[in-house]
Protein backbone atom coordinates (compact mmCIF):
# COMPACT_ATOMS: atom_id res chain seq x y z
CA UNK A 1 0.00 0.00 0.00
CA UNK A 2 1.15 3.55 -0.70
CA UNK A 3 1.81 5.76 2.28
CA UNK A 4 -0.83 8.35 3.26
CA UNK A 5 -0.55 11.72 1.55
CA UNK A 6 1.27 14.29 3.66
CA UNK A 7 -0.29 17.76 3.94
CA UNK A 8 1.79 20.43 5.67
CA UNK A 9 0.36 23.65 7.10
CA UNK A 10 2.97 26.40 7.49
CA UNK A 11 1.62 29.02 9.89
CA UNK A 12 -0.69 26.53 11.61
CA UNK A 13 -0.79 28.82 14.66
CA UNK A 14 -3.48 30.74 12.78
CA UNK A 15 -5.69 28.39 14.73
CA UNK A 16 -9.14 29.44 13.55
CA UNK A 17 -8.12 29.29 9.89
CA UNK A 18 -6.28 26.01 10.47
CA UNK A 19 -9.44 24.61 12.04
CA UNK A 20 -11.49 25.57 8.98
CA UNK A 21 -8.98 24.10 6.54
CA UNK A 22 -8.67 20.82 8.43
CA UNK A 23 -12.43 20.54 8.68
CA UNK A 24 -12.56 20.76 4.90
CA UNK A 25 -9.67 18.36 4.31
CA UNK A 26 -10.60 15.60 6.75
CA UNK A 27 -14.24 15.58 5.68
CA UNK A 28 -13.23 13.92 2.39
CA UNK A 29 -13.09 10.11 2.70
CA UNK A 30 -9.94 9.95 0.56
CA UNK A 31 -8.10 12.24 3.00
CA UNK A 32 -9.24 10.91 6.36
CA UNK A 33 -5.99 8.99 6.90
CA UNK A 34 -3.68 11.73 5.64
CA UNK A 35 -0.57 12.81 7.49
CA UNK A 36 -1.29 16.34 8.73
CA UNK A 37 1.94 18.17 9.63
CA UNK A 38 1.47 21.41 11.56
CA UNK A 39 4.23 24.03 11.76
CA UNK A 40 4.46 27.39 13.49
CA UNK A 41 7.16 29.44 15.18
CA UNK A 42 4.88 30.02 18.22
CA UNK A 43 4.91 26.83 20.35
CA UNK A 44 1.81 27.83 22.34
CA UNK A 45 -0.35 28.53 19.31
CA UNK A 46 1.02 25.40 17.64
CA UNK A 47 0.04 23.23 20.63
CA UNK A 48 -3.47 24.69 20.57
CA UNK A 49 -3.79 23.97 16.84
CA UNK A 50 -2.63 20.39 17.40
CA UNK A 51 -5.31 19.91 20.05
CA UNK A 52 -7.94 21.39 17.76
CA UNK A 53 -6.80 19.15 14.89
CA UNK A 54 -7.19 16.05 17.06
CA UNK A 55 -10.70 17.13 18.05
CA UNK A 56 -11.72 17.78 14.43
CA UNK A 57 -10.46 14.35 13.45
CA UNK A 58 -12.58 12.79 16.19
CA UNK A 59 -15.67 14.76 15.20
CA UNK A 60 -15.32 13.61 11.59
CA UNK A 61 -14.42 10.01 12.50
CA UNK A 62 -11.15 10.51 10.62
CA UNK A 63 -7.89 8.74 11.46
CA UNK A 64 -5.08 11.06 10.30
CA UNK A 65 -1.55 11.09 11.59
CA UNK A 66 -1.13 14.52 13.19
CA UNK A 67 2.33 15.91 13.96
CA UNK A 68 3.31 19.37 15.17
CA UNK A 69 6.77 20.92 15.05
CA UNK A 70 8.54 24.27 15.13
CA UNK A 71 11.09 22.79 12.69
CA UNK A 72 9.95 23.91 9.23
CA UNK A 73 12.19 21.50 7.32
CA UNK A 74 10.88 18.55 9.31
CA UNK A 75 7.30 19.65 8.57
CA UNK A 76 8.04 19.93 4.83
CA UNK A 77 9.92 16.63 4.54
CA UNK A 78 7.91 14.34 2.24
CA UNK A 79 4.94 16.70 1.90
CA UNK A 80 2.77 16.37 -1.21
CA UNK A 81 0.82 19.54 -0.42
CA UNK A 82 1.96 22.65 1.45
CA UNK A 83 -0.50 25.30 2.66
CA UNK A 84 0.95 28.68 3.73
CA UNK A 85 -0.87 31.02 6.13
CA UNK A 86 1.98 33.01 7.70
CA UNK A 87 2.21 36.71 8.57
CA UNK A 88 5.79 37.95 8.88
CA UNK A 89 6.09 40.60 11.58
CA UNK A 90 2.51 40.21 12.74
CA UNK A 91 0.26 43.06 13.81
CA UNK A 92 2.84 44.36 16.28
CA UNK A 93 5.28 45.73 15.30
CA UNK A 94 5.04 45.38 11.53
CA UNK A 95 1.46 46.33 10.64
CA UNK A 96 1.40 49.16 13.18
CA UNK A 97 4.53 50.57 11.54
CA UNK A 98 3.01 50.21 8.05
CA UNK A 99 0.12 52.44 9.12
CA UNK A 100 1.67 54.89 11.58
CA UNK A 101 4.60 56.15 9.49
CA UNK A 102 2.62 56.82 6.27
CA UNK A 103 0.00 58.61 8.37
CA UNK A 104 2.69 61.12 9.44
CA UNK A 105 3.01 62.05 5.76
CA UNK A 106 -0.75 62.36 5.27
CA UNK A 107 -1.15 58.94 3.62
CA UNK A 108 -4.12 57.05 5.07
CA UNK A 109 -4.91 53.38 4.46
CA UNK A 110 -7.74 50.94 5.14
CA UNK A 111 -6.21 47.42 5.01
CA UNK A 112 -2.64 47.81 3.72
CA UNK A 113 -1.89 44.17 2.93
CA UNK A 114 -2.16 43.92 -0.86
CA UNK A 115 -1.06 47.11 -2.58
CA UNK A 116 -0.15 50.62 -1.49
CA UNK A 117 2.79 51.31 0.78
CA UNK A 118 1.48 48.77 3.30
CA UNK A 119 1.37 46.05 0.67
CA UNK A 120 4.85 46.95 -0.57
CA UNK A 121 6.38 46.73 2.90
CA UNK A 122 4.54 43.52 3.71
CA UNK A 123 5.93 42.01 0.50
CA UNK A 124 9.48 43.04 1.41
CA UNK A 125 9.13 41.29 4.78
CA UNK A 126 7.35 38.22 3.44
CA UNK A 127 8.86 37.37 0.07
CA UNK A 128 12.36 36.50 1.35
CA UNK A 129 10.80 34.09 3.86
CA UNK A 130 8.60 32.51 1.17
CA UNK A 131 11.48 32.17 -1.28
CA UNK A 132 13.60 30.50 1.39
CA UNK A 133 10.72 28.14 2.16
CA UNK A 134 10.36 27.38 -1.55
CA UNK A 135 13.98 26.19 -1.61
CA UNK A 136 13.20 23.88 1.30
CA UNK A 137 10.16 22.54 -0.55
CA UNK A 138 12.26 21.83 -3.64
CA UNK A 139 14.76 19.89 -1.54
CA UNK A 140 12.41 18.06 0.81
CA UNK A 141 8.90 17.62 -0.56
CA UNK A 142 7.53 14.52 -2.28
CA UNK A 143 7.29 14.15 -6.07
CA UNK A 144 4.98 16.65 -7.82
CA UNK A 145 4.44 18.87 -4.76
CA UNK A 146 1.87 21.64 -4.85
CA UNK A 147 2.08 24.85 -2.81
CA UNK A 148 -1.23 26.50 -1.90
CA UNK A 149 -0.62 30.07 -0.73
CA UNK A 150 -3.07 32.10 1.36
CA UNK A 151 -0.52 34.76 2.34
CA UNK A 152 -0.83 38.40 1.25
CA UNK A 153 0.21 40.27 -0.80
CA UNK A 154 -1.16 37.39 -2.84
CA UNK A 155 -0.32 38.56 -6.37
CA UNK A 156 3.27 39.54 -5.54
CA UNK A 157 3.99 36.28 -3.72
CA UNK A 158 2.43 34.10 -6.41
CA UNK A 159 4.27 36.01 -9.13
CA UNK A 160 7.67 35.89 -7.41
CA UNK A 161 7.58 32.22 -6.41
CA UNK A 162 6.48 31.01 -9.84
CA UNK A 163 8.98 33.31 -11.56
CA UNK A 164 11.84 31.92 -9.51
CA UNK A 165 10.91 28.25 -9.90
CA UNK A 166 8.12 26.08 -11.30
CA UNK A 167 9.44 22.86 -9.75
CA UNK A 168 7.06 23.53 -6.87
CA UNK A 169 4.15 25.38 -8.49
CA UNK A 170 2.39 27.93 -6.31
CA UNK A 171 -1.35 28.52 -6.60
CA UNK A 172 -2.59 31.57 -4.71
CA UNK A 173 -5.95 31.14 -2.97
CA UNK A 174 -8.38 33.78 -1.80
CA UNK A 175 -12.06 33.69 -0.85
CA UNK A 176 -13.09 37.02 -2.37
CA UNK A 177 -14.66 35.55 -5.53
CA UNK A 178 -16.99 33.11 -3.81
CA UNK A 179 -17.73 35.38 -0.84
CA UNK A 180 -18.65 38.34 -3.04
CA UNK A 181 -20.89 36.15 -5.19
CA UNK A 182 -22.77 35.14 -2.02
CA UNK A 183 -23.03 38.79 -0.92
CA UNK A 184 -24.49 39.82 -4.27
CA UNK A 185 -26.90 36.91 -4.17
CA UNK A 186 -28.07 38.24 -0.80
CA UNK A 187 -28.53 41.74 -2.24
CA UNK A 188 -30.58 40.24 -5.09
CA UNK A 189 -32.52 37.89 -2.77
CA UNK A 190 -31.48 34.83 -4.80
CA UNK A 191 -30.06 31.62 -3.28
CA UNK A 192 -26.27 31.79 -3.69
CA UNK A 193 -26.06 28.23 -5.02
CA UNK A 194 -28.26 29.20 -7.96
CA UNK A 195 -25.95 31.97 -9.18
CA UNK A 196 -23.67 31.30 -12.15
CA UNK A 197 -20.67 33.51 -12.84
CA UNK A 198 -17.40 33.91 -14.70
CA UNK A 199 -14.74 36.01 -13.03
CA UNK A 200 -11.23 37.04 -14.04
CA UNK A 201 -8.51 39.60 -13.34
CA UNK A 202 -5.85 39.91 -10.66
CA UNK A 203 -6.26 39.11 -6.99
CA UNK A 204 -8.48 41.67 -5.26
CA UNK A 205 -9.04 43.46 -8.59
CA UNK A 206 -10.95 40.82 -10.49
CA UNK A 207 -14.41 41.39 -11.96
CA UNK A 208 -17.48 39.28 -12.72
CA UNK A 209 -17.56 39.13 -16.50
CA UNK A 210 -20.82 37.18 -16.33
CA UNK A 211 -23.31 37.02 -13.47
CA UNK A 212 -26.59 35.24 -14.07
CA UNK A 213 -29.50 33.27 -12.60
CA UNK A 214 -31.27 30.56 -14.59
CA UNK A 215 -29.94 32.01 -17.82
CA UNK A 216 -30.93 35.61 -16.98
CA UNK A 217 -28.24 38.31 -16.86
CA UNK A 218 -28.30 39.83 -13.36
CA UNK A 219 -26.28 42.94 -14.17
CA UNK A 220 -29.37 45.10 -14.92
CA UNK A 221 -30.70 44.30 -11.45
CA UNK A 222 -27.34 45.02 -9.78
CA UNK A 223 -27.11 48.36 -11.57
CA UNK A 224 -30.64 49.19 -10.42
CA UNK A 225 -29.57 48.62 -6.80
CA UNK A 226 -26.80 51.19 -7.24
CA UNK A 227 -28.93 53.64 -9.20
CA UNK A 228 -31.74 53.56 -6.65
CA UNK A 229 -29.43 54.00 -3.65
CA UNK A 230 -30.10 50.52 -2.25
CA UNK A 231 -26.46 49.41 -2.05
CA UNK A 232 -25.42 48.28 1.46
CA UNK A 233 -23.67 51.08 3.35
CA UNK A 234 -20.50 49.01 3.73
CA UNK A 235 -20.36 48.29 -0.01
CA UNK A 236 -20.73 51.72 -1.62
CA UNK A 237 -17.27 51.76 -3.24
CA UNK A 238 -17.86 48.60 -5.26
CA UNK A 239 -21.33 49.59 -6.38
CA UNK A 240 -19.85 52.92 -7.51
CA UNK A 241 -17.25 51.02 -9.54
CA UNK A 242 -20.06 48.98 -11.09
CA UNK A 243 -21.72 52.19 -12.28
CA UNK A 244 -18.43 53.62 -13.61
CA UNK A 245 -16.86 50.53 -15.18
CA UNK A 246 -19.91 48.36 -15.94
CA UNK A 247 -18.68 45.34 -13.96
CA UNK A 248 -18.63 44.40 -10.27
CA UNK A 249 -15.24 43.85 -8.52
CA UNK A 250 -14.59 40.90 -6.25
CA UNK A 251 -12.74 42.39 -3.29
CA UNK A 252 -14.48 44.29 -0.50
CA UNK A 253 -15.06 48.04 -0.67
CA UNK A 254 -12.63 48.76 2.16
CA UNK A 255 -9.89 46.91 0.25
CA UNK A 256 -10.73 48.32 -3.16
CA UNK A 257 -10.77 51.93 -1.96
CA UNK A 258 -6.98 51.95 -1.49
CA UNK A 259 -6.12 50.33 -4.83
CA UNK A 260 -7.18 53.45 -6.73
CA UNK A 261 -6.59 57.24 -6.48
CA UNK A 262 -10.27 58.19 -6.12
CA UNK A 263 -11.62 57.52 -2.64
CA UNK A 264 -9.02 58.49 0.01
CA UNK A 265 -7.66 62.03 -0.29
CA UNK A 266 -6.30 64.44 2.36
CA UNK A 267 -8.95 66.88 3.53
CA UNK A 268 -11.73 65.07 1.68
CA UNK A 269 -13.84 63.82 4.56
CA UNK A 270 -16.81 64.25 2.22
CA UNK A 271 -15.50 61.36 0.10
CA UNK A 272 -14.94 59.16 3.12
CA UNK A 273 -18.48 59.83 4.28
CA UNK A 274 -20.07 59.47 0.84
CA UNK A 275 -18.47 56.10 0.19
CA UNK A 276 -18.28 54.99 3.85
CA UNK A 277 -14.54 54.29 3.63
CA UNK A 278 -13.22 52.96 6.99
CA UNK A 279 -9.69 54.28 7.51
CA UNK A 280 -7.40 52.09 9.66
CA UNK A 281 -9.86 49.21 9.36
CA UNK A 282 -7.22 46.46 9.44
CA UNK A 283 -5.44 47.73 12.58
CA UNK A 284 -8.89 47.98 14.16
CA UNK A 285 -9.65 44.38 13.26
CA UNK A 286 -6.31 43.32 14.73
CA UNK A 287 -7.16 45.12 17.99
CA UNK A 288 -10.58 43.49 17.93
CA UNK A 289 -9.04 40.06 17.49
CA UNK A 290 -6.50 40.72 20.27
CA UNK A 291 -9.40 41.64 22.57
CA UNK A 292 -11.44 38.59 21.58
CA UNK A 293 -8.56 36.07 21.38
CA UNK A 294 -8.68 34.88 25.03
CA UNK A 295 -12.36 34.01 24.53
CA UNK A 296 -11.65 32.35 21.18
CA UNK A 297 -8.77 30.35 22.69
CA UNK A 298 -10.95 29.14 25.56
CA UNK A 299 -13.69 28.15 23.11
CA UNK A 300 -11.18 26.26 20.98
CA UNK A 301 -9.82 24.46 24.04
CA UNK A 302 -13.25 23.89 25.66
CA UNK A 303 -16.07 23.98 23.08
CA UNK A 304 -19.24 25.53 24.46
CA UNK A 305 -17.47 27.41 27.26
CA UNK A 306 -17.96 30.91 25.84
CA UNK A 307 -21.10 32.99 25.35
CA UNK A 308 -21.09 34.54 21.83
CA UNK A 309 -23.52 37.28 22.82
CA UNK A 310 -21.50 38.22 25.90
CA UNK A 311 -18.35 38.47 23.78
CA UNK A 312 -20.21 40.54 21.21
CA UNK A 313 -21.41 42.94 23.92
CA UNK A 314 -17.89 43.16 25.34
CA UNK A 315 -16.18 44.02 22.06
CA UNK A 316 -18.90 46.53 21.20
CA UNK A 317 -18.05 48.34 24.42
CA UNK A 318 -14.30 48.24 23.85
CA UNK A 319 -14.24 51.44 21.74
CA UNK A 320 -12.34 49.84 18.87
CA UNK A 321 -12.81 51.69 15.59
CA UNK A 322 -13.94 49.11 13.03
CA UNK A 323 -16.88 48.56 10.72
CA UNK A 324 -19.98 47.24 12.56
CA UNK A 325 -19.96 44.06 10.50
CA UNK A 326 -16.38 43.34 11.66
CA UNK A 327 -17.64 43.38 15.26
CA UNK A 328 -20.55 41.10 14.39
CA UNK A 329 -18.19 38.60 12.82
CA UNK A 330 -16.48 38.07 16.19
CA UNK A 331 -19.69 36.71 17.72
CA UNK A 332 -20.28 34.62 14.61
CA UNK A 333 -16.75 33.22 14.96
CA UNK A 334 -17.48 31.80 18.43
CA UNK A 335 -20.72 30.25 17.23
CA UNK A 336 -19.01 28.79 14.18
CA UNK A 337 -16.33 27.08 16.26
CA UNK A 338 -18.88 24.74 17.82
CA UNK A 339 -19.45 22.52 14.84
CA UNK A 340 -17.30 21.25 12.01
CA UNK A 341 -18.77 22.37 8.72
CA UNK A 342 -17.39 22.89 5.25
CA UNK A 343 -15.99 26.37 4.65
CA UNK A 344 -15.89 28.35 1.42
CA UNK A 345 -12.10 27.96 1.11
CA UNK A 346 -10.65 26.19 -1.93
CA UNK A 347 -7.64 24.51 -0.26
CA UNK A 348 -9.34 21.29 0.74
CA UNK A 349 -11.21 21.10 -2.57
CA UNK A 350 -7.95 21.30 -4.54
CA UNK A 351 -6.20 18.64 -2.46
CA UNK A 352 -9.18 16.31 -2.77
CA UNK A 353 -9.45 16.89 -6.51
CA UNK A 354 -5.79 16.05 -7.10
CA UNK A 355 -5.77 12.99 -4.82
CA UNK A 356 -9.14 11.55 -5.90
CA UNK A 357 -9.05 12.60 -9.55
CA UNK A 358 -12.61 13.89 -9.20
CA UNK A 359 -12.83 17.13 -11.26
CA UNK A 360 -13.39 20.36 -9.38
CA UNK A 361 -13.51 24.01 -10.46
CA UNK A 362 -11.93 26.68 -8.27
CA UNK A 363 -10.62 30.22 -8.69
CA UNK A 364 -6.85 30.38 -8.34
CA UNK A 365 -4.01 32.87 -8.76
CA UNK A 366 -1.56 31.53 -11.33
CA UNK A 367 1.06 32.84 -13.80
CA UNK A 368 -0.39 34.56 -16.83
CA UNK A 369 0.69 32.28 -19.67
CA UNK A 370 -1.54 33.89 -22.27
CA UNK A 371 -4.60 33.34 -20.07
CA UNK A 372 -5.57 37.03 -20.11
CA UNK A 373 -4.20 38.47 -23.30
CA UNK A 374 -4.28 42.17 -22.37
CA UNK A 375 -2.39 41.74 -19.08
CA UNK A 376 1.40 41.27 -18.94
CA UNK A 377 2.81 37.81 -19.51
CA UNK A 378 4.00 36.20 -16.28
CA UNK A 379 2.05 38.38 -13.87
CA UNK A 380 -0.26 36.63 -11.40
CA UNK A 381 -3.85 36.43 -12.64
CA UNK A 382 -6.98 35.10 -10.93
CA UNK A 383 -9.00 32.81 -13.20
CA UNK A 384 -11.17 29.69 -12.99
CA UNK A 385 -9.10 26.51 -12.81
CA UNK A 386 -9.92 22.87 -13.38
CA UNK A 387 -8.53 20.57 -10.70
CA UNK A 388 -8.10 16.82 -11.18
CA UNK A 389 -5.38 14.16 -10.94
CA UNK A 390 -3.27 16.21 -13.37
CA UNK A 391 -3.14 19.13 -10.94
CA UNK A 392 -4.47 22.67 -11.23
CA UNK A 393 -5.07 23.74 -14.82
CA UNK A 394 -6.13 27.36 -15.42
CA UNK A 395 -8.62 28.26 -18.14
CA UNK A 396 -8.04 30.69 -21.00
CA UNK A 397 -10.02 33.92 -20.66
CA UNK A 398 -8.75 35.99 -23.58
CA UNK A 399 -9.14 39.74 -23.70
CA UNK A 400 -10.74 41.57 -20.77
CA UNK A 401 -12.86 44.70 -21.29
CA UNK A 402 -10.25 47.36 -21.94
CA UNK A 403 -11.24 49.59 -19.00
CA UNK A 404 -10.84 46.69 -16.57
CA UNK A 405 -7.44 45.68 -17.91
CA UNK A 406 -6.28 49.31 -17.78
CA UNK A 407 -7.20 49.57 -14.10
CA UNK A 408 -5.51 46.25 -13.31
CA UNK A 409 -2.30 47.32 -15.03
CA UNK A 410 -1.94 50.25 -12.59
CA UNK A 411 -1.74 47.61 -9.84
CA UNK A 412 0.36 45.15 -11.86
CA UNK A 413 2.99 47.88 -12.37
CA UNK A 414 3.54 48.07 -8.62
CA UNK A 415 3.53 44.30 -8.22
CA UNK A 416 6.13 43.89 -10.97
CA UNK A 417 8.48 46.44 -9.44
CA UNK A 418 8.33 44.82 -6.01
CA UNK A 419 8.89 41.34 -7.46
CA UNK A 420 11.80 42.65 -9.54
CA UNK A 421 13.26 44.40 -6.49
CA UNK A 422 13.23 41.19 -4.45
CA UNK A 423 14.39 38.77 -7.15
CA UNK A 424 17.25 41.03 -8.30
CA UNK A 425 17.89 42.73 -4.93
CA UNK A 426 17.74 46.14 -6.58
CA UNK A 427 16.76 48.55 -3.83
CA UNK A 428 15.84 51.41 -6.19
CA UNK A 429 12.80 49.48 -7.42
CA UNK A 430 11.23 49.79 -3.97
CA UNK A 431 11.09 53.56 -4.46
CA UNK A 432 9.81 53.07 -8.01
CA UNK A 433 6.99 50.85 -6.75
CA UNK A 434 5.90 53.47 -4.20
CA UNK A 435 6.16 56.24 -6.81
CA UNK A 436 3.85 54.39 -9.20
CA UNK A 437 1.35 53.16 -6.64
CA UNK A 438 -2.04 54.71 -7.57
CA UNK A 439 -3.05 55.77 -4.06
CA UNK A 440 0.39 56.85 -2.81
CA UNK A 441 1.14 58.94 -5.91
CA UNK A 442 -2.25 60.66 -5.68
CA UNK A 443 -1.45 61.92 -2.17
CA UNK A 444 2.32 62.46 -1.86
CA UNK A 445 5.00 64.19 -3.94
CA UNK A 446 8.26 62.52 -4.90
CA UNK A 447 10.31 63.86 -1.99
CA UNK A 448 7.66 62.75 0.50
CA UNK A 449 7.50 59.28 -1.04
CA UNK A 450 11.27 58.84 -0.89
CA UNK A 451 11.46 60.06 2.70
CA UNK A 452 8.55 57.85 3.78
CA UNK A 453 10.11 54.73 2.22
CA UNK A 454 13.42 55.48 3.93
CA UNK A 455 11.71 55.88 7.29
CA UNK A 456 9.71 52.68 6.88
CA UNK A 457 12.76 50.63 5.94
CA UNK A 458 14.67 51.97 8.94
CA UNK A 459 11.76 51.27 11.29
CA UNK A 460 11.29 47.68 10.11
CA UNK A 461 14.95 46.93 10.71
CA UNK A 462 15.68 43.22 11.00
CA UNK A 463 12.26 42.26 9.63
CA UNK A 464 13.71 43.21 6.24
CA UNK A 465 16.60 41.48 4.43
CA UNK A 466 20.02 43.12 4.62
CA UNK A 467 20.01 44.30 0.99
CA UNK A 468 16.85 46.35 1.70
CA UNK A 469 18.21 47.90 4.89
CA UNK A 470 21.20 49.17 2.90
> Integer distance in angstroms from the first to the last C-alpha of the chain?
54
Predicted confidence (pLDDT) per residue in 216-257, tens digit: 999 999 999 999 999 999 999 999 999 999 999 999 999 999
Phi, psi for 294 (deg, rounded to 5): -55, -40
- Do the domain assignments include residue 443? no
Average pLDDT over residues 366-388: 98
Of the pLDDT bands very low, low, confident and very high (cuts 50, 70, 90), residue 50 is very high
Q: How far apart are CA 96 and CA 275, in angstroms?
A: 25
- Do the domain assignments include residue 311? yes
For the cut 90, the answer to whether the pLDDT of residue 339 exceeds it is: no
Average pLDDT over residues 389-395: 97
Q: What is the pLDDT of residue 330?
A: 82
- Do the domain assignments include residue 292? yes
Can you give the residue range of the structural domain that contains 324?
281-336
Of the pLDDT bands very low, low, confident and very high (cuts 50, 70, 90), residue 309 is confident
- Do the domain assignments include residue 209? no
- Global confidence as pTM: 0.97
- Do the domain assignments include residue 405? no
Average pLDDT over residues 107-111: 98
- Do the domain assignments include residue 323? yes
- Based on the structure, what is the number of domains in the chain? 1
Q: How far apart are CA 23 and CA 20, in angstroms?
A: 5
- Do the domain assignments include residue 329? yes
Burial of 389 (0-12, 13-18, 19+ CB in 10 A): exposed
Query: DSSP string spanning 425-447?
Result: T-THHHHHHHHH-HHHHHH--HH
Q: How far apart are CA 398 and CA 200, in angstroms?
A: 10
Catalytic residues: 175
Query: If we measure between CA atoms, which residue out of 116, 90, 91 comes closest to residue 105?
Result: 116
The C-alpha R_g of the chain, in whole angstroms, comes to: 22
Amino acid sequence: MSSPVKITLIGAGSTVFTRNLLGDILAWPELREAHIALHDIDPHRLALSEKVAQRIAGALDARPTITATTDRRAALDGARFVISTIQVGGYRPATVTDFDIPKKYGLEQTIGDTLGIGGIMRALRTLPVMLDMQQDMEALCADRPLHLNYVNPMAMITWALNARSRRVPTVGLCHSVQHTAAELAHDLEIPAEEIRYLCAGINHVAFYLEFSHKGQDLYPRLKAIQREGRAPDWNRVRYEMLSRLGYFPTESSEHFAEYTPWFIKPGREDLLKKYNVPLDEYPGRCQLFEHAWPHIERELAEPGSQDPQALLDEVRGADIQVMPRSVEQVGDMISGLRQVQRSAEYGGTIIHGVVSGQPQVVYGNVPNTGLITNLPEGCAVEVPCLVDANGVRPTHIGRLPVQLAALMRTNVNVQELVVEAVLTQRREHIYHAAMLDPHTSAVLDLEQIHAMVDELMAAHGDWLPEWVRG
